[in-house]
Structure 1
Amino acid sequence: MKKIFLAMAVAIVTVTAVSAQKDDSDSKITVSIHQTDQEDGYEGSAEQRCGIRFNLPMAGVVKIEVESVDCLPLAGTAITRQDAFGKTVVGDMAHTSTIITYISSEKSGFTPGKDYYISTLPCNLYGGYRFSIYKDGLVAHYFGVHQKVELGEFISPDDLVESELEFDKPGAPLVEKGRPKMDSKTHKLFVLYRKNPTEANRQALLDQMGVRYDKVVARKKNKLRELEREARTYSIVEHMQGIVDEMVENRETRIRQQFLRFIDPRRDDNPKDAWMVLRGASDATAYIGYAPVTNAEYAAFKPGFTYKSGQDNYPVVNISLQDAQAYCQWLTAQDSKHIYRLPSEEEWILGAGHMPKDVAMNANHVESGLTAVDAYKQSTGACGGIDFWGNCWEWTTTTDADGQYLVKGGSWDAKRDDCRSEKSDDVRSGDKGYANVGFRVVRTDTPQSK
């Protein structure tokens, strides 16, 4: 028995000694939320200091602000210790902040071409970070993705291009009336792939498009963080969270659709006709209608069809999916070279592309009802067609689990965000007509014409 108690006493002493040794190996690092080029805002081991290094070619930049779009701590206090394998790991954190400001001590701003170092806590920034540049009373936002700050290391916004920065007044809302322009790196890879379409060049372009997509998601996440701080009602935050979740969940599908549209080499044989190349479609002969089918076009198929005077060029509505398919069959019967049909959801998305946030359209009751299909012709889809968003929903042949048909694009009485191309939860019964649902047609070659 004495031996057992002795063994237990030795074990307790050993554990206590090991614990004490483990505690002695702990160290603390502290990162301030306010830093300058004279005071790095860091306390701790110099070997463990980490963060973001930047070197800007432009003059007049007086402040940088950095934020983790995923709400991960950038500033605060953290405990570091050695794990069982002798690797330094980060433990508990306290008094944390997701935002850091870094200010120039000179009124003229940071010296162009000089390296500056913003201290941060170790942080996985793969999902994105906002890097805001303040200059001449204006601010431009760069979003970095796919990076991780490790202890003792500094990351850099390596793909930041000065000419691609857009400066605006601080606090000004992001205005997005058109699709984002292609950045220089993506353009170079695109040209390279077109000249030499090898698998390696294809993958390089696809990877870059993934980066480009994730930067858009990071911008949306940052807007969500802003709303969480400033929104007066939670419903606004909840709605934005839904948009972000959809973009993350359907990432691979969206990138694939963009990529297929991107690399499709087809040119429009007749730019002046009513058919637009449906780039990225599985059928290489697919074209999509320039606009939804109008009252006048549908009346040519169905002589007894009537509509209000002066609305020849309005989209035809109150047409069931079956009626729309009958119209397509009528077109096919008159054309020996082509087949006409309704688009699938994916084909519709390929034609429309991303809906710019502030695009001009007939939605959210800006009009008292339907308008002519060309009333907002300045707003074009990815294929060059018009009236994809707002005015009237459009039938697709894609169904949900209950056999209901997906409709796309929103309508004059729909919320703007419900008009987004990616929204995929609005459905209708195919055997009914609806006052705010119309349709657009896809045209392909017959087997004999291919």
Structure 2
Amino acid sequence: ALALERAKAKQKDGLFGSEISGVLAPEVVFCDSLWVGRFEVTRAQYAAFDPEYQFQAGTGNYPASGISYEKAKAYCRWLSEKTGQTYRLPTEKELKKLLARAKGNADHENNLDYWAGYDVNPDDARMLAPKIHELEQKGSLLWPVGSFRPVGKNRVYDLGGNVAEWCTAGDSGKVLGGSAVTPKDPAAKYQAPPLRYVGFRVILEK
């Protein structure tokens, strides 16, 4: 059922996105009064902006990761110029509102609990660090966008896992949300993951 839902998302040549003015742009859907990216920005979408961004063949639908706040903002400016539409990062308030939707979906996200196979508490998370490092040597813990259950009527994916996401907080950037190495435990003090597990999602102003 999940594969059928994901197949309804807009694609071109097997890559997620909508072609606008010759650019593969992130698909946006209406959620919580915002036009928000259905998925996190993918590697293929981001690489069209940054030719120095390298990724393995066949992983174009994985979330772009290792992205700085400045680069994420620059991508939004570039996409706006290319398409004639206005894209930006979510504000902290907007992203927190979106992430609140994912709280009940934590058992169905790519987070640390998924990889551990059980509900991880803060002490477990620290003890699991060497094992996570071992797993990373065999390959990324990231999955293609949309691999896990979405939230909302219009199906927004990966709000609670895969990569944490940038938002604009005042005059600077802030990372929020779950990732493949973040425990789902709501009592745990939030700690932003390493940059290799940080990406972003766009907002389209209409």
Coarse TM-score class (shorter-chain normalised): 0.5 to 0.7
Using structure 2 for the length normalisation, give the TM-score: 0.66
| Map 1:397-416 → 2, pairs under 5 A | 397-398=168-169, 405-416=173-184
Match of 1:393 among 164, 180, 183: 164
CA RMSD of aligned residues (A): 2.8
Aligned length: 158
SS of the counterpart of 1:405? strand
Q: Is the 8 A contact 2:102 2:159 kept in 1?
A: no
Aligned equivalent of 2:54: 306
In structure 2, C-alpha distance between the alignment counterparts of 1:321 and 1:442, rounded to whole Å: 15
| Map 1:102-251 → 2, pairs under 5 A | none
Deviations 1:94-147 (A, max 9, x none): xxxxxxxxxxxxxxxxxxxxxxxxxxxxxxxxxxxxxxxxxxxxxxxxxxxxxx
Aligned equivalent of 1:349: 96
Q: Is the 8 A contact 2:29 2:37 kept in 1?
A: yes
Q: Is the 8 A contact 2:161 2:177 kept in 1?
A: yes
In structure 2, C-alpha distance between the alignment counterparts of 1:357 and 1:301, rounded to whole Å: 32
Who wins on radius of gyration, i.e. which is larger?
A: 1
Aligned equivalent of 2:71: 323
Q: Is the 8 A contact 1:288 1:351 kept in 2?
A: no
Q: Is the 8 A contact 1:364 1:416 kept in 2?
A: yes
Percent identity, aligned pairs only, is: 30
Superposition deviation, residue 359 in structure 1:
3.1
Q: Is the 8 A contact 1:404 1:427 kept in 2?
A: no
Match of 1:275 among 20, 28, 44: 28
Superposition deviation, residue 351 in structure 1:
3.2
In structure 2, C-alpha distance between the alignment counterparts of 1:379 and 1:304, rounded to whole Å: 31
In structure 1, C-alpha distance between the alignment counterparts of 2:197 and 2:103, rounded to whole Å: 19
Q: One-letter code of the match for 1:355? A: K
Superposition deviation, residue 303 in structure 1:
1.9
Deviations 1:184-216 (A, max 9, x none): xxxxxxxxxxxxxxxxxxxxxxxxxxxxxxxxx
Superposition deviation, residue 391 in structure 1:
1.0
In structure 2, C-alpha distance between the alignment counterparts of 1:404 and 1:427, rounded to whole Å: 15
Q: Does 1:436 align with 2:197?
A: yes
Q: Is the 8 A contact 1:381 1:388 kept in 2?
A: no
SS of the counterpart of 2:70? helix
Residues 405, 417 of structure 1: CA spacing in aligned structure 2 closer, same or farther, 3 A cutoff? farther
Using structure 1 for the length normalisation, give the TM-score: 0.32
In structure 2, C-alpha distance between the alignment counterparts of 1:441 and 1:426, rounded to whole Å: 22
Q: Does 1:384 align with 2:145?
A: no
Q: One-letter code of the match for 1:395? A: W
SS of the counterpart of 1:334? helix
Q: Is the 8 A contact 1:351 1:385 kept in 2?
A: no
Superposition deviation, residue 410 in structure 1:
1.0
Q: Does 1:417 align with 2:185?
A: yes
Residues 276, 357 of structure 1: CA spacing in aligned structure 2 closer, same or farther, 3 A cutoff? closer
Q: Does 1:372 align with 2:144?
A: yes
In structure 1, C-alpha distance between the alignment counterparts of 2:185 and 2:154, rounded to whole Å: 21
Gaps of 5+ in 1: 1-270, 281-285, 446-450
Q: One-letter code of the match for 1:386? A: Y
Q: Using CA pairs under 8 Å that are at least 6 residues apart, name the structure with larger relative contact order, 1 or 2.
A: 2
Q: Is the 8 A contact 2:62 2:142 kept in 1?
A: yes
Superposition deviation, residue 405 in structure 1:
3.5
Q: Is the 8 A contact 1:325 1:341 kept in 2?
A: yes
In structure 2, C-alpha distance between the alignment counterparts of 1:424 and 1:327, rounded to whole Å: 30
Superposition deviation, residue 365 in structure 1:
5.4
Q: Is the 8 A contact 2:113 2:184 kept in 1?
A: no
Superposition deviation, residue 441 in structure 1:
0.4
SS of the counterpart of 1:417? coil
Superposition deviation, residue 350 in structure 1:
3.3
Q: Is the 8 A contact 1:278 1:347 kept in 2?
A: no
Superposition deviation, residue 297 in structure 1:
0.5
Superposition deviation, residue 358 in structure 1:
5.0
Deviations 1:329-365 (A, max 9, x none): 01110122x2111001221233342511653111115
